[in-house]
């Protein structure tokens, strides 16, 4: 009886393959939910581009709507 209970607890290759395949499939489940969001590219003061959700931009407060080139360059130099 001891030999039979030990064999029941051992994991065979056929038992590992579905677990391994399922683990490799998990990253694709989270990726599908973020694909539908719209993004817009903005520039930070240091000049690096940043992707921001369009909904965040729509709900944000506008400080200045139109600025001159000179003020934009001053802002980028900071």
**What was the pLDDT predicted at 3?**
56
**What was the pLDDT predicted at 5?**
60
pLDDT digits (tens, 9 = 90+) for 16-26: 888 888 888 77
Q: How far apart are the first and last CA of the chain?
A: 77
d(CA 44, CA 48): 6
- Domain ranges across the chain: 2-77
> How far is residue 2 from each of residues 10, 11, 15, measured CA to CA in Å?
13, 17, 22
């Amino acid at each position: 009886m001891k030999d039979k209970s030990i064999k029941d607890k051992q994991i065979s290759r056929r038992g590992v393959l579905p677990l391994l395949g399922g683990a490799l499939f998990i990253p694709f489940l989270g990726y599908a939910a973020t694909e539908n969001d719209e993004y817009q590219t903005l520039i930070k003061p240091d000049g690096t581009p940043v992707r921001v959700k369009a909904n965040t931009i729509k709900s944000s407060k506008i400080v200045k709507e139109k600025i001159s080139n000179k003020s934009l360059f001053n802002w980028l130099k900071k």
